[in-house]
Structure 1
Amino acid sequence: MSKQIINRNKKNYDGYKAFQYLEAGKDYQEFKLAKQIDRVPAFVYPVSEAEEEKVQDLLSKEQIISMHEHTFIAPENLSEFYEFRRTGRDFTAYEALSNSGLDVIFENFMDGTAMVTSLAGWKWSDVIHDLGLRYSDIAHQDMIIKAERLSDIYRAKKEGKIAFVGALESCTMIENELDRLDILYGFGIRTMGIVYSEANQLGAGLREPSDGGLTVFGKQAVERMNKLGITIDVSHSGDKTALDTIETSSKPVTINHAGARGLWNTNRMKPDDVIKACAAKGGVIAIEAAPHSTVTANHPEHNIESFMEHFEYTANLVGIDHVAFGPDTLFGDHVGLHDTLSGQLSIKSAQKSDVKRVEYVQGLENPAECFPNILRWLVKKGYSDADIKKVIGTNIIRVLEDTWAK
């Protein structure tokens, strides 16, 4: 394909930079951030001109939804990361996102590394601090809107904007206080994971050596989230806790960033029985692309081919109506950040020690690169427009219709 690519889903971006309403160095500590664009060589999945035309048509007409991202920009020098997170101020990559092709982003913030008062993360006051600062910045610009109802999602596409769905990867910060779920809902949070890798009051995470399942309090929290209209996620839950959550919930549950353990045997991937239970309840399984996660025996070097093998395995297992994409990417050196946070976030315990290391995941390096390449792959492989529409958007919309407040 030699013709220059023109993105037909480019957003109405006015040049706003994160926190530009403040004075760097005076109002906040300034850090040199990684490049938003061209940090690594750009990769365009190879397609013909006719196939690219179809990709651009889909981008312009359909709802393009990522079910899991972190759209902040990491510091260029990762030795500064702990100091950077101590301020609780994350900088959104508005410029790059304007050309991402995305209409809806489930923004998962960085609350496992909310370190304003504690290096352990997940503290209530730190999470509220993080959310407040990020939403303050979002309130000062016009390209991204908070998605609190389905109407916001539809409006964003029509207005050339991006809808941010507020998401947290764990309920750890609520401790034993159910009303904190209401407070987080009031802040704009619309999806939450039951637990991160370490156990909390609700259940066991994937790192734990034993999994007793959802606790009594966990069942109460599930009921409250169902009533509030918070979509429940079990991506990081232990297997029994995940199954208990799916059974307890009166509404569909998601796995918004994972892969298939049937292809890659690590705790971070989900086994067939959990995937099947999620789908049987009406949920959706979104495939992730964080470095060294969705690897396969056929593609031991993590790239778009191994990622899409997990997609096809899951689609074949439970049907095309129950799969989507949650790449779980960010702006900056993702591999280096994993190395920096390997103990903090239990990353190594969820990966095979003999995984073939890559510097970055080609074709899926950041939130601005993923979906045009995912669409190119799907078009190249001959997927129908109807099936593509499902996996890039409508499968997720169906779950939100079932789980969000009307």
Structure 2
Amino acid sequence: MTHIIKQGNKKVYDGYKSFQYLEAGVDFKEYKLSKENDRVPPFVYPVSIDEEEEVQQILEENYIVSMHEHTFIMPEDLQEFYEFRRQGRDWTGYEALSQSGMDVVFENFMDGTAMVTSMAGWKWSDVIHDLGIRYSDIAHQDMVIKAERLADLYRAKREGKIALVGALESSTMIENELDRLDILYGFGIRTMGIVYSEANQLGSGLREPNDGGLTVFGKQAVKRMNKLGITIDVSHAGDQTSLDTIEASEKPVTINHAGARTLWNTKRLKPDSVIKACAEKGGVIAIEAAPHSTITENHPEHNIESFMEHFEYTANLVGIDHVAFGPDTLFGDHVGTHDLLSGQLSIKSAQMANLKRVEYVKGLENPAECMPNIVRWLVKKGYSRQDISKVVGTNIFRVLEATWAK
């Protein structure tokens, strides 16, 4: 007799596809998009039947949050990527998200590759264009809701929906205009990185050979974000800029997609000093899974085991109350995208030359499979229900309670 386990935390999805309210070929150019599911062989982290029942119960009963994802769908043919991005219209993987087990997803809009008017990304007008188009699409369906207050996160769970939190990985587009932070808040942005890999008006990114720390304007921006209720992130900031930001902020700061440099010596990951400073201020460190990031000497081939080694190291370093997950995945060929954009996103400058390349990260390939497999791993390893609840959601909620507008 086959043992059938009901999927926990399934969402109320009615089959909506992005921009179906428009006419393809008339209102926009149509591209063949990557598969949302089964682009690569699906992987379910192996657990027993009893453990799987516990996993599904956890997904059903707890708030499941990913602190960093890109829920858009890449074109299948990556040679079309630049043309695709210049159209300024991104499709969201609603069907796959409906099966992801997530209640809250931090959507990090792809503005490092926002190329409507410029090939360099991070331009103000392109960012506004990107936000408006995506939120227009979201406004035409019912499963994903635009999250602007904490109440929206709780409501999404009750109603079988997914709360989408608007996030930007850098503040480059505000240039030297503090009021642009208010405008972005008005558009729905609730968390922002200080800087991406390259330096900007606020501070130094991880790519820079010399990190001068947070600038005077950067300190003003931190103060404004604290007042507005924008959660500040330092995932891509240089070490000194990260430390300065944590010190300057009156509220907790996040590292919403990184890992531990002690386990793999690359600037893309954070040293113990920054991780500790973030936790001491009440922040949270969310572990990322973008290809070739969270690998270790024990697991040089990037997979869920290397990813979770970073989780356990960080939890042991600063405590289980300060760790969460921000897998940083997308729907499509992530490795191919990195290869295509290695210069655009400064990826090579943050990687070690001797890493073992993979075609994809097994078990953490896209936003739909990450959180269920993470929960399976935690259950398999014997983590308590209380600790699992913290790292899959409530640690993040605590930081949002401290940083968002009431």
Short-chain TM bin: over 0.9
Deviation readout 1:70-109 (Å, 9 max, x if unpaired): 0000000001101000011100000000000000000001
Question: Which residue identity does 2:375 align to in structure 1?
Answer: L
Aligned to 1:169: 169
SS at match of 1:276: helix
Aligned to 1:102: 102
Q: Distance between the aligned counterparts of 2:288 and 2:374, measured in 1?
A: 12
The percentage of aligned residue pairs carrying the same residue is 82
Deviation readout 1:217-263 (Å, 9 max, x if unpaired): 00000000000000000000000000000000000000000000010
Q: Distance between the aligned counterparts of 2:224 and 2:60, measured in 1?
A: 37
Q: Distance between the aligned counterparts of 1:88 and 1:192, measured in 2?
A: 21
SS at match of 1:130: helix
SS at match of 2:277: helix
Please tell me whether the aligned partners of residues 7 and 56 of structure 2 are also in contact (alpha carbons under 8 angstroms).
yes
RMSD, aligned CA: 0.6
Aligned to 1:261: 261
TM-score, normalisation: structure 1? 0.99
Q: Distance between the aligned counterparts of 1:199 and 1:118, measured in 2?
A: 18
Give the CA deviation at 1:353.
1.3
SS at match of 2:55: helix
Q: Distance between the aligned counterparts of 1:387 and 1:35, measured in 2?
A: 34
Aligned pairs (5 A) from 1:54-69: 54-69=54-69
Q: Distance between the aligned counterparts of 1:237 and 1:223, measured in 2?
A: 17
SS at match of 1:105: strand
Confirm or deny that 1:334 pairs with 2:334.
Answer: yes
Deviation readout 1:174-220 (Å, 9 max, x if unpaired): 00000000000000000000000000000000000000000000000
Question: Which residue identity does 1:265 align to in structure 2?
Answer: N
SS at match of 1:191: strand
Q: Distance between the aligned counterparts of 1:384 and 1:213, measured in 2?
A: 39
TM-score, normalisation: structure 2? 0.99
SS at match of 2:256: strand
Aligned pairs (5 A) from 1:3-402: 3-402=3-402
Q: Distance between the aligned counterparts of 1:208 and 1:197, measured in 2?
A: 7
SS at match of 1:106: strand
SS at match of 1:39: coil
SS at match of 2:390: helix
Question: Which residue identity does 2:248 align to in structure 1?
Answer: T
SS at match of 1:32: coil
Q: Distance between the aligned counterparts of 1:401 and 1:348, measured in 2?
A: 36
SS at match of 2:138: helix
SS at match of 2:306: helix
Q: Distance between the aligned counterparts of 2:297 and 2:289, measured in 1?
A: 16
Q: Distance between the aligned counterparts of 2:6 and 2:334, measured in 1?
A: 27
Q: Distance between the aligned counterparts of 1:3 and 1:138, measured in 2?
A: 37
Q: Distance between the aligned counterparts of 1:383 and 1:230, measured in 2?
A: 32
Q: Which runs of 5+ in 1 are unaligned?
A: none
Please tell me whether the aligned partners of residues 5 and 53 of structure 2 are also in contact (alpha carbons under 8 angstroms).
no
SS at match of 2:301: coil
Question: Which residue identity does 2:100 align to in structure 1?
Answer: S
SS at match of 1:236: coil
Q: Distance between the aligned counterparts of 2:4 and 2:83, measured in 1?
A: 41
Q: Distance between the aligned counterparts of 2:107 and 2:295, measured in 1?
A: 24
Q: Distance between the aligned counterparts of 2:373 and 2:229, measured in 1?
A: 32
Please tell me whether the aligned partners of residues 71 and 331 of structure 2 are also in contact (alpha carbons under 8 angstroms).
yes
Please tell me whether the aligned partners of residues 16 and 94 of structure 2 are also in contact (alpha carbons under 8 angstroms).
yes
Question: Which residue identity does 2:212 align to in structure 1?
Answer: G
Q: Which runs of 5+ in 2 are unaligned?
A: none
Give the CA deviation at 1:4.
4.2
Question: Which residue identity does 1:330 align to in structure 2?
Answer: L
Give aligned pairs, total: 405
Give the CA deviation at 1:3.
3.6
Deviation readout 1:336-384 (Å, 9 max, x if unpaired): 0000100100011111111100000000000000010000000000000
Give the CA deviation at 1:30.
0.8
SS at match of 2:294: coil
SS at match of 2:163: strand
Question: Which residue identity does 1:363 align to in structure 2?
Answer: G
Q: Distance between the aligned counterparts of 1:4 and 1:356, measured in 2?
A: 38
